[in-house]
Amino acid sequence: MLVQKDRTGDPSLLDLAKAYIKRHFSKPGNVYLGLVHRLDRPVSGVIVFARTSKAAARLSEQFREGRVEKIYQAVVEGEIADRGELEDRIIRSGSSSYVGKGDAGQLARLSFQRLKSSSNSSLVEINLGTGRHHQIRVQLSNLGYPIVGDFRYGSKTKYKEGAIALHARSLSITHPTLKEKMTFTSEPDDSWDKLF
């Protein structure tokens, strides 16, 4: 599902959340929800909205400064190493990205750990160090392990229509006013079990 509207006119999570708040809290007029980060359309998982513009500004600053802990899970094609750290330079080109050579592109860092595997796929947990366009998708594909269903970046395995096997499992932020650490989690759906 789209996080926010685009030119397709498809329903967006932002619009659905605003409608829910309006209905659930009997809010008159327009409802404010600040979008402080995004997920690619085919990715599932945790997303956080801000209820006030001040909270949105403070949360956006945490994302910009890299103070947010983002943990993803993915099912990749092949049997990936037990663990690893990737550091590449990613170049964005239109609606896609690729790993550049030398100093070209933006620095992209992630670490991963294999949780389980079969002869043709692996479940990995990814700790995202930076947040570049399609970063996880590009870096894992460049390593030779595309995400299941991600045909744009080399997958040969079909998954659910309009989705890839990449899930934002956990997001940790600091509350914008209380300054307490908050962690939001979401588990991938049961369809992942069929990939092993």
Active site residues: 40
Judged by DSSP in three states, 94 sits in coil
Q: Tokens for 100? A: 């550049």
163 in Cβ contact with 56 (< 8 Å): no
Residues 6+ apart with CB under 8 A from 92: 132, 133
Number of Cβ within 10 Å of residue 41's Cβ equals 15
Q: Tokens for 170? A: 């956990």
Q: Tokens for 57? A: 């500004």
d(CA 38, CA 21): 20
Q: What element of type H or E holds 168?
A: strand 166-174
Phi, psi torsion values for 56, nearest 5 degrees = -60, -45
